[in-house]
Amino acid sequence: MKNIITRAIIVFAALITFVSCSNDYDINKDGGIRWVVEVDKTALIDSSNPDVEYEAAVQRTEQIIKTRLDNFCKEENTLFHKIKFNVKQSDEPGRIIIDLFPDKDYEAYQRIKRLISTTGNLEFWETYYFDEINEYFDQANAILAEKYETEDPLYSLLVPSYTEDGPIRIARVGIINNWFDIDSINKLLETTKGLNTFPGDMKLAWTALPEKNNGVEYFELIALKMTNGGCALDGSVITDAKQVNENNGQSAIQIQMNREGTNIWKLFTRDNIGRQIAITVDDYVFSYPVVNQEIEGGRCQIYSDGMTLELAQDLANIIKNGKFPFRVNVLEENLVEPQQAQ
C-alpha cells in the first residue's frame, strides 16, 4: 500500500495549489485517494427501531469525519491546509465515501486514515493492582500448562509483574516485547474462561504505545476495575481537548470537562488518591497515572512517553469532536488517477 500512496504523491505533487479544505473537490477530475468506510450496525441487534437509529448514526458519523478533517487542515504551523477532501454518503446504506487530494507529505495520509477510522471512545477507569489479582493469573498459567502439556504457556509470553519479593503493587499485570504476542495471550486467557475465576469486575487492556527500557520497547497489560459495571467516566463530558507540551517538552493532551464531568472527576480522583487510574481510547490504555490529590476544575492530561506531537494533535481532535456512534470499518482504499486534459 505504501508504494501505491508514494506513487500517488508523485502524481499529485505537481498539481497541489494553495487552497483551503473544501467539499467541492472532484476526485474524478483531479485524482486522489478514495476510502470507503462502513458504519458497523452490530450494536443495534436488540434495537426496537434499528433502521432509524442506524440512519441517524451514519449521518452523525459523516458529520464527525468532516469536522475531524476540517480541524486537521486548520492546524497551525502545518502545510495540511493544502489538502482538499470530500465526504459523502454512498448509495449503499451505511457506507461513507471519503475522497482526498493528498499533500506531498506521506505523514498526512497516515494521520487522515487515523482520523477516519478511530472511534474515539474515551474512558476513565479504576484499576486493580497485580498484588491483588496475581493468584488468578498464576492459576490461569497452571491450567494452561496442564491443558497444553507445556511449562508456563502464559508466562513464557507475558512477563508477569513479579520481583524476588513477590508481586508488585502496580496496575500492570505484565509486559511483552513483541506486539504480535498480544493475540496469542488474549486467546490463552480466553481459553481459561469457565475454568478460572477472574474477578467479575476486572477488564484487561493493552497499552496503545510502547514504553522503553534501556532501548528495548515493550507493551503492558493493564488490569482495569469496573465501576458500577463499566468505566467511571466517559468522553461524553468533554467540552474541549487540545495538544499541549509538558515541562519536559513531551506532548500531551489537555482535556476540559463540563459541570457534570467536573463533579464526577472530583469524586473519582478523591476516592482514588494514592492509586493508579487508567485512561483509555478505544479500549487501549494511553496513561495510567497515580492520583496524588483530589482534582477540581474538571481538567485532566493524557500523556505517554511514546506520544508524538502528531498523535497528540489527532487524539485531541478526535476527543474534542466526539466519538463515532458505532465502530467504523475501512472497506476500500483506492488510488484514483486524475483525468487527462483533452
Asked whether the beta carbons of 224 and 198 are under 8 A apart, the reply is no
**CA distances from residue 56 to 50, 86, 115, 187, 236 in whole angstroms, order as listed:** 10, 20, 20, 35, 18
Asked whether the beta carbons of 161 and 168 are under 8 A apart, the reply is yes
Asked whether the beta carbons of 307 and 250 are under 8 A apart, the reply is yes
CA atoms within 13 A on the CB side of 82: 16
Asked whether the beta carbons of 129 and 288 are under 8 A apart, the reply is no
Question: How far is the C-alpha of 65 from the C-alpha of 35, rounded, in Å?
Answer: 12
Question: How far is the C-alpha of 259 from the C-alpha of 264, rounded, in Å?
Answer: 9
Q: pLDDT tens digits, residue range 12-53?
A: 332 333 334 555 678 888 788 899 999 999 888 777 888 899
Cβ-based burial of 92 (10 A; exposed 0-12, middle 13-18, buried ≥19): exposed
The radius of gyration of the chain's CA atoms, rounded to the nearest angstrom, is 23
Q: What is the DSSP letter of 149?
A: T
Question: How far is the C-alpha of 47 from the C-alpha of 193, rounded, in Å?
Answer: 28
Q: pLDDT tens digits, residue range 198-209?
A: 999 999 999 999
Cell (9 digits) for 239: 467540552
All residues at 6 or more sequence positions from 180 whose CB lies less than 8 Å from its CB, including other chains = none
Question: How far is the C-alpha of 32 from the C-alpha of 102, rounded, in Å?
Answer: 7
Question: How far is the C-alpha of 308 from the C-alpha of 327, rounded, in Å?
Answer: 25
Q: pLDDT tens digits, residue range 307-330?
A: 888 999 999 999 999 999 999 999
Question: How far is the C-alpha of 245 from the C-alpha of 264, rounded, in Å?
Answer: 26
Domains defined for the chain, CATH in brackets? 2-119+324-336 (3.30.70.3400), 121-322 (3.30.1360.200)
Instruction: List the one residue out of 335, 321, 331 whose CA is nearest residue 115.
Output: 321
Secondary structure of residue 137 in the 3-state scheme = helix
Question: How far is the C-alpha of 66 from the C-alpha of 59, rounded, in Å?
Answer: 11
Sign of CA dihedral 44, 321, 66, 116: negative
Question: How far is the C-alpha of 37 from the C-alpha of 100, rounded, in Å?
Answer: 14
Give me the pLDDT at residue 2, please. 41
Per-residue pLDDT tens digits of the chain, which is 342 residues long: 444 434 433 333 323 333 345 556 788 887 888 999 999 998 887 778 888 999 999 999 999 999 999 888 887 655 566 678 889 999 999 999 998 886 556 777 888 899 999 999 999 999 999 999 999 999 999 999 999 999 999 999 999 999 999 999 999 999 998 888 999 999 999 988 877 779 999 999 999 998 888 888 899 999 999 999 999 999 999 999 999 987 777 899 999 999 999 999 999 999 999 999 999 999 999 999 999 999 999 999 998 878 888 999 999 999 999 999 999 999 999 888 887 654
Asked whether the beta carbons of 36 and 103 are under 8 A apart, the reply is no
Secondary structure of residue 333 in the 3-state scheme = strand
Secondary structure of residue 255 in the 3-state scheme = strand
Give me the residues paired with residue 89 across strands.
96
